[in-house]
Amino acid sequence: MSDTKSKIPYIPQDAPFSGEQKQWLSGFLAGMHSRLAIGTNNVAPAVAQAEIKHLDIIFGTQTGNAEAVAEDAAALARTKGFTPRIAEMDEVDMTHLAAMQNLIVVVSTYGEGEMPDNAHQFWEALSATTAPRLEALKYGVLALGDTSYDEFCQAGKLVDTRLEQLGAKRLATRVDCDIDFEDIAEKWLSSTIPDAGATAIETKPVEPPKAKSGWGRKNPYISKVTENRILSGAESAKEIRHITFDLGDSGLAYEAGDALGVMPVNAPDLVQAWLDRLNVPADTDIDGTGLSDMLSTELEIMTPSRDLIRALEPLANDDELSHVVSNGDKEALKHYLWGKDALDLLNLNVDLMFDTAQVVGWLKPLQHRAYSISSSPKAHEGEVHLTVAAMRWMHDNRPHKGVCSTFLADHVQNGAPAGIFMSPNKSFRIPQDDSVPMIMVGPGTGVAPFRAFLEERQACGASGVNWLFFGDQHRTSDFIYEEEIAAFSADGLLTRLDLAFSRDQADKIYVQHRMIENGKDLYAQLEQGGHFYVCGDATHMAKDVDAALHFIIETQGSMNPEAATDYVNRLKREKRYVRDVY
């Protein structure tokens, strides 16, 4: 009797594939083997058929939510007789896609209608004229987004439409999820993933799933703050704080690179201003809840919702608002809203009296804010640290404040409670190989995860190069964690430090300028397998850094722009160019 298992090709452990790719290939090759085995004397057709009942699940994510939903989909698929294969969208080429039969796509929308970082290359290939026909494919798209943005769930809409154009058939109608996505996603998955009609053959996961603590957005752990100190200097234009939370006996676990979700409470003075504007008492009953409590802990009263804007526009008698809304000019509306909050819009027509229940219906639920964790659990057992810039500004002679940043700064001092939970970001991790170079670009509070990365590498005794690009406005007042960074440099952990303080000289210098100045060495580190990380502002800094990286690769690698783009795309596919931007 022949040994049929020996016919399945071996995938070396050092093959240039991620864990998910190895799992996909293993399943694909096992499926090929099963088809070859049908009809032989030693394999029953029903068993062989069961082995090839795959459900492919691909995800595009910026913060980890879509990945978590994809994992839930895989768990459900196993109970329905499938052997699921999970992959990030950029790990799937069109040849792989054309070979699939059943597909679930979970994709979030990033920024103003953009694909998340790990879905760009997939989308470029899918939207190209060379994309294959997909008549044999059955698919479903679950889109995650935020109705605060005009291009709500645009990434999911694009993928859904393009798969249909290529001939694929829907398993179910696409569902577009707002921030409260968990229940809707669970219901959609249950109704969309069909019954495979077979007993699934369980495959050992690449990484055994960690037990969940049970704490989450709907059930945050009430932690005690044990440290809340200002990092920025007295002359700084910013207020940046270091905040430490005690994890107690919560069971909460995290890794360097993850984010922490914080459940804020709206500022008392803003809540009172709303009560005054609505001209109602604090204990006004709204569906069984006092209005003051609702405005404090349940409703988003800072950022204007789309429903609020649409409802107020015909009532406000404001020509500029009416103009930007009627024209549908998103940039003009963004410019108009800059610096304003929802109360500012209510105040556009001070003579207008509101129905309180109606106004409440225009508001969205108050949501958590996610912050990059600035500590390694190996260095701070039982604690998690954040680096937070408290946002404050004036508009129309009224103080305005960031919802969560000033909640933490003003109302959560040492010993005070705050609701928290972990938001894993598996794509943003230090290299598994401790000898690999690590290049980090994190100006301002963007340095937060890189403090954690350095602590992690120190605890692991990593030997690889650690190179940090950091900057802000002024060295004397904005060099946060200066003493710690100096200590990292002194003991050799931080191999190289390049600083860019933009306003310490006549010509502004930013981190991207320091990158270009050191382009030869930076390119050499990439050629040696280096990983390139970016954290911070997505609107300007991250784009400028990306442009600088392309320029460095072009000039130092003697490449044309197309070749440099291919090089950068390869870095992304290999998870050697990753970003945590906001």
The model's pLDDT over 385-420, given as tens digits with 9 standing for 90+, comes to: 999 999 999 999 999 999 999 999 999 999 999 999
Calculate what percentage of the chain has a pLDDT beyond 70.
88
pLDDT score of 52: 62
Residues 542, 535: Cα–Cα separation, whole Å: 8
- Looking at residue 62, what is its pLDDT? 87
- What's the mean pLDDT in 127-148? 95
Residue 330 — very low, low, confident or very high, per pLDDT cuts 50/70/90? confident
34 confidence band (pLDDT: 50, 70, 90):
very low
pLDDT band at 507 (very low <50, low <70, confident <90, very high): very high
- 24 has pLDDT over 60: no
* 340 token code pair: 């304003």
Res. 51: pLDDT tops 70? no
**Distances in Å between the alpha carbon of 451 and those of 30, 255, 466?**
43, 13, 11
Report the greatest alpha carbon distance in the chain: 90
180 pLDDT band, cuts 50/70/90, is confident
Mean pLDDT of all residues in the chain? 90
pLDDT band at 49 (very low <50, low <70, confident <90, very high): very low
Q: Would you say 265 and 297 are in contact if contact means Cβ atoms under 8 Å apart?
A: yes
Give the bridge partners for 534, in sequence order.
441, 579
List the structure tokens of 173. Answer: 């109608």
Stated as kind and residue range, the H or E segment containing 60 is: strand 54-60
Q: How many CA atoms lie within 13 A of 390 on its CB side?
A: 23
Domains (range + CATH), the chain: 4-192 (3.40.50.360), 221-263+368-423 (2.40.30.10), 268-360 (1.20.990), 438-581 (3.40.50.80)
Q: Report pLDDT for 368.
A: 94
In the predicted model, what is the mean pLDDT of residues 264-270? 98
- pLDDT-derived band at 304, boundaries 50, 70, 90: very high
CB 240 within 8 A of CB 480: yes
What pLDDT, on the 0 to 100 scale, is given for residue 329? 83
CA distance 150 to 277: 27
pLDDT confidence of residue 328: 82
Q: How far apart are the first and last CA of the chain?
A: 60
Q: Is the pLDDT of residue 182 over 60?
A: yes
Tell me which residue of 445, 402, 434 sits closest to 541, measured CA to CA: 445
Residue 2 pLDDT > 70, yes or no?
Answer: no
Q: Return the pLDDT at 42.
A: 41
* Lookup result for tokens 């390119």: 523
- pLDDT tens readout for residues 347-356: 999 999 999 9
Torsion of CA 225, 231, 234, 238, to 10 degrees: -90
- Predicted confidence (pLDDT) at residue 89 exceeds the cutoff of 80: yes
pLDDT tens, residue by residue, 279-300: 999 999 999 999 999 999 999 9
Residue 576's pLDDT band, with cuts at 50, 70 and 90, is very high
Instruction: Give the relative orientation of helices 182-192 and 65-79 as an angle to the nearest 10 degrees.
Output: 40
Q: What was the pLDDT predicted at 189?
A: 97
If you average pLDDT over residues 459-464, what whole number do you get? 97
Asked whether residue 23 carries a pLDDT value surpassing 80, the answer given is: no
Asked if 431 contacts 458 with a C-beta cutoff of 8 angstroms, the reply is no
Q: What is the pLDDT of residue 204?
A: 45
Model confidence band, residue 513 (pLDDT cutoffs 50, 70, 90): very high
Q: Is the dihedral of CA 270, 274, 280, 282 positive or negative?
A: negative
272 Cβ contact partners less than 8 Å away, ≥ 6 residues apart: none
Q: Which tokens in the block code for residue 113?
A: 């209608």
Choice among 56-65, 339-348, 449-458 with the minimum mean pLDDT: 56-65
Q: pLDDT at residue 202 above 60?
A: no
Residue 524 has pLDDT above 80, yes or no: yes
pLDDT at 198: 56
Tokens representing 87?
């992959």
d(CA 291, CA 305): 19
